[in-house]
Structure 1
Amino acid sequence: MKNKFIYLSILAMAGLVSCEPEFENAVDTNYTAGEADFSSYVAIGNSLTAGYMDGTMYKSGQANSFPNLLSQQFATVGGGVFTQPSYEEDVNNLGGILGVPGFGTRRVINFATSAPENIAGTSTITLTAQATAYNNMGVPGAKSFHLLAPGYGNPAGLALGQANPYYVRHATSNTSTVLGDAVSKNPTFFTNWIGANDILSYATTGGIGVDQTGNPNPLTYGTNDITDPTVFAGVYSLIINGGTHPAFGTVTGLAQNGAKGVVATIPSVTSIPFFTTVPYNPVTAAAVGGASNITALNAQLYGPLKQALTAFGAGSRINLLIATGGNPLLIKDESLTNLSAQLTAAFTPSLGAATAAFYGSVFGQARQATADDLVLLTTSGVIGTAPTGVPAPLDKYGVTYPLQDQHILIPSEQTAIANATNAYNAAIKSIAASKGLAVADMNAILGVLVNGLRSVDGSIYTANYFSGAATENKVLFSLDGVHPNARGYAVIANEIIKVINAHYKSNMPFLNPSYFPGINVVATN
């Protein structure tokens, strides 16, 4: 998850907690590292590792990255200094990147409207080179193979889409790699949570990318494509074990010199609020201006369309609207047989050739959404707006004009995501087992989180997106709907501590998520 931040991703971030998380311990003077050595802890990953939240990287958000929180607990058992890329430039805590299109300021809740929006102001974060390897080598937007790519931090590659502005800020050279910089810290312990973006950018753009399963060359992939599972497994093995890659050369792995660590699986990204907040059936009589408009829509569009589709054996694609409840959004489903020519012929006698051709092109693969479709969070701002160049009366996205591929995840796209997620996680677990590494199963943890959880102090936390004051102190996701908020990252850190304590016979204290901030609310914006 738009490989701007991307991502996500997703997000996957969200995979957060087991049934009975321990959020705080009694005072224990017998803390121990067990079989682990935390003197040089290095974290590698994407936005979930970097501390991305509310749609951007910003100073106070980064302070609550889960690796930074972990390092504070590691300090109780001999952990060393932990460094992160500098965001001291972010004097107003706005985030974004100055002069780089698409990198906006952080999302906040405007108290005056109770609505999420980007905070007003101009970013002060620049691309000034820090040329430093840090302990936190999480790079927002990075896919698995990006960690091995020389030049991913070269500013000359930005315009070509070959570099990442977040890595440009701290790459040690124009030819360095994220993994190479991480290994240069000589880690004795590491966390690796990479792979979400290999599917998340496909998911958060409504599946407009390509499922590259079967394509072994990642250098040919587009920004929003799904990484081939075999490519992912090979790259992941190199990240852990080192070796040689035909495109990226010789690689030194995180565990190659005996370091221990934790790897995290990839959560089911379609379970996060970005995909579960907007209902598939928000078209009510009130939303379209009253029951009389429902009647008019049925007479002028839905009725004739259903009649024509029925004649071609596809009448189930469209049903008449009702005035007493929610109606499904109108969407385009590219997996359907295209009936454009048939509809054009059917409407020509009543509408004329030109208008009928337009109707045919618009509704040839149209249908109403079902509960099996996922409406993207970003689509909430599109529903009811006018598509470019479309005249009345068809100028209402989701009502009289189908939402397009980039607005919806249809079931076939969700299946592609699920298949890749399962394959990636199988590879992660297998590679971890071969090296005796601990596994934080964020995929399984997410299944618990989405149903809500209760901490030992009685606090209730949920995976819901912010929906008003009643949920303000309960949600674990930030306002981008993909990444956790600070409280959510504390939950992630606790889950990893639990895994470390069990796998490496350590005894470290837990964090109390209620001590961390949730949603950002500003009085005015």
Structure 2
Amino acid sequence: MKNYKYIGLFLLSLSIVSCDDNSDFDPIPAEEVVEVALDINGLDFSKYISIGASFTAGYTDGAMFKAAQENSFPNILAGKFGTEFNQPLMDDNIGGLVFNGTAVQPPRFFFNGAPTRLPAAPTTQLGVPASGGPFHNFGAPGAKSFHLGVPGYGQLNPYFGRMASSPTATVMGDALAQNPTFFTLSEIGGNDVLGYALSGGSGVDRSPNVPENLNPANYGGNDITNPNVFASVFSGMVAALTANGAKGVVANVPYITDLANFTTVPHNPVPLDGATAGGVNAAFAAYNGGLQQILDLKNAGLLPAQVLPLLVNYDQAEVDRRQVNFVAGQNAVLMLDENLSNLTPINPGLTNMRQATADDLLLLASSSVIGTTVGGNPQLINGVTVPLADNWVLTPQEQASIMTATDAYNTTIAAVASSNPNIAFVDFKGVLTEASTGIMFDNYTMTTSLVTGGLVSLDGVHLTARGYALMANKILAAMDAEFGSNFTLATGGLAKAGDYPTNYSAALR
């Protein structure tokens, strides 16, 4: 009973204190927000232009559409600069292009449990010029570095075709004709490796300095641009843009293999039960034995001399790497690998295939192929009994080609920026590397994960609107550091994460 008595006295004392009318406290004043005026430190934004490819255009969710263009990083920057900025806006928020009633570029993705193409017909007509010029955003989706100086490029690129001043115009020529006072030159070089990456390394790495690689006229659409070609083009663009005293910002190229298109599908997405795994292994028993037999014959000196050049690097490690072995549970996909020793002239049944490892990168689109049957035959299953084609996977060797070229491009970009006092430099490669584990933008942690990360859009390559806003802020910070402006400190000087979406509704048309 004593405990209850003391508790009652304690509660009584609290009620007496709380009811004391004589305790009069001064009100807590609201925290005063200090307004910081914007100081551009003499920068001239009266004619701002942006030059680049799909990132510059605002390409998002696998398409170009009006809302995404309005949330492009150049348009965000122009709003902070307080300058007029005309873009070749699409006619709708569906995305894609139509010609004679047929869609020739698909509509955008929306999220429907998975990235799904919008079930709607594009209304933007191929070949019809955009209204609202002269334009200031010269972002041409798909453009490689050397494309920006190609006469008549609008005949090859429908997006530049919508804003080209004439049938023979070049992107750089039209941009320079605007007499820019300030510019952004961003993501130049991204498409020089992206086509190769998105084709699973099916193009040619043109990095070796042989004559045919120094002439882009020899290139296929998925080839990696020679770094010397890139250096010449990029240096020339910056020299032309700054010749009359204009200032600008350049950004380097991230490792595109860090993007969700290459990191979402695991190397081992095939679930099998024990019986099925055993049946598949039985079907590959002769294949596995044939691999070992070739090596045994090589080591015994019993193979014809004419086939030995094919087996220079063929050893036990490769035999082991090529063994096909499925187990109960999750399994690595079966894939082709052109880097393996070519055994088919010796035994046509020994295809260049192996199971993937964690070092291989499967393209996002491969998820729609893995597990499907070939010709409706239930015995022929892609990624299990039939190897995935080369265009669905990036091997470590192909990844190395992409990274080596990217590093060379970035060396040029950094050198050009450091040697020109009119240029600010943005390390977008570093931003994307940080985002692979998480980068803060206001109160949001953004990553490169598909759908949930907030940075990369549903196509796995291009940014969300919020991602482009982050990119705009990184550019403004680089300008502050190089030119003495104060966008990062000024009231309203930076874009706010909450003002920009990470996805667009399917109802938006």
Fold-level match, TM-score > 0.5?
A: yes
1:85 aligns with 2:79: no
Deviation, structure 1 residue 484:
0.4
More off after superposition, 514-523 vs 164-173: 514-523
RMSD of aligned residue pairs (Cα, Å): 1.9
Could you tell me how far apart the structure 1 residues matched to 2:123 and 2:507 are? 22
Could you tell me how far apart the structure 2 residues matched to 1:312 and 1:69 are? 62
- Which residue is equivalent to 1:517? 501
1:453 aligns with 2:439: yes
Secondary structure, aligned partner of 1:44: strand
- Which residue is equivalent to 2:366? 379
- Which residue is equivalent to 2:277? 294
Distance 1:200 1:27, change over 3 A: farther
- Which residue is equivalent to 2:56? 49
- 2:450 alignment partner AA: Y
Distance 1:277 1:434, change over 3 A: same
More relative contact order, 1 or 2 (CA 8 Å, 6+ apart): 1
How many percent of aligned residue pairs carry the same amino acid?
43
Deviation, structure 1 residue 522:
3.4
- Which residue is equivalent to 1:109? 111
1:191 aligns with 2:184: yes
User: Is the 1:133–1:184 contact (alpha carbons within 8 Å) kept by the matching residues of 2?
Assistant: no
Could you tell me how far apart the structure 2 residues matched to 1:372 and 1:102 are? 35
Secondary structure, aligned partner of 1:426: helix
1:231 aligns with 2:216: no
1:211 aligns with 2:205: yes
1:65 aligns with 2:72: yes
Match of 2:241 among 212, 229, 254: 254
Deviation, structure 1 residue 291:
2.8
- 1:109 alignment partner AA: F
Match of 1:172 among 149, 161, 165: 165
Deviation, structure 1 residue 520:
2.9
Deviation, structure 1 residue 387:
3.9
User: Is the 1:133–1:181 contact (alpha carbons within 8 Å) kept by the matching residues of 2?
Assistant: no
Deviation, structure 1 residue 35:
4.2
User: Is the 2:250–2:426 contact (alpha carbons within 8 Å) kept by the matching residues of 1?
Assistant: yes
More off after superposition, 40-49 vs 436-445: 436-445
* TM-score normalised to structure 1 length: 0.80
In structure 2, the gaps of 5 or more residues are 1-32, 296-318, 488-492
Secondary structure, aligned partner of 2:115: strand
1:75-104 deviation line (CA, Å, top 9, x unaligned): 2xxxx21111132x22xx101001276510
Aligned length: 439
Could you tell me how far apart the structure 1 residues matched to 2:467 and 2:341 are? 43
- 1:96 alignment partner AA: G
- Which residue is equivalent to 1:129? 129
Could you tell me how far apart the structure 2 residues matched to 1:60 and 1:262 are? 25
1:397-419 deviation line (CA, Å, top 9, x unaligned): 11111111111111111111111
1:310 aligns with 2:292: yes
Match runs of 1:235-246 below 5 Å: 235-241=233-239
- 1:520 alignment partner AA: Y
- 2:465 alignment partner AA: A
Deviation, structure 1 residue 205:
0.8
Could you tell me how far apart the structure 2 residues matched to 1:259 and 1:211 are? 35
Secondary structure, aligned partner of 1:191: strand
Secondary structure, aligned partner of 1:226: coil
- 2:194 alignment partner AA: L
Larger Rg: 2
Match of 2:430 among 435, 444, 454: 444
Could you tell me how far apart the structure 2 residues matched to 1:450 and 1:179 are? 33
Distance 1:298 1:185, change over 3 A: same
More off after superposition, 45-54 vs 218-227: 218-227
Deviation, structure 1 residue 392:
5.4
* TM-score normalised to structure 2 length: 0.83
- 1:119 alignment partner AA: L
In structure 1, the gaps of 5 or more residues are 1-25, 155-162, 242-252, 345-359
- Which residue is equivalent to 2:118? 119
User: Is the 1:50–1:138 contact (alpha carbons within 8 Å) kept by the matching residues of 2?
Assistant: yes
- Which residue is equivalent to 1:331? 335
1:312-365 deviation line (CA, Å, top 9, x unaligned): 341331242110x32111000001111124444xxxxxxxxxxxxxxx1xx420
Secondary structure, aligned partner of 2:335: strand
Secondary structure, aligned partner of 2:154: coil
User: Is the 1:133–1:171 contact (alpha carbons within 8 Å) kept by the matching residues of 2?
Assistant: no
Distance 1:27 1:516, change over 3 A: farther
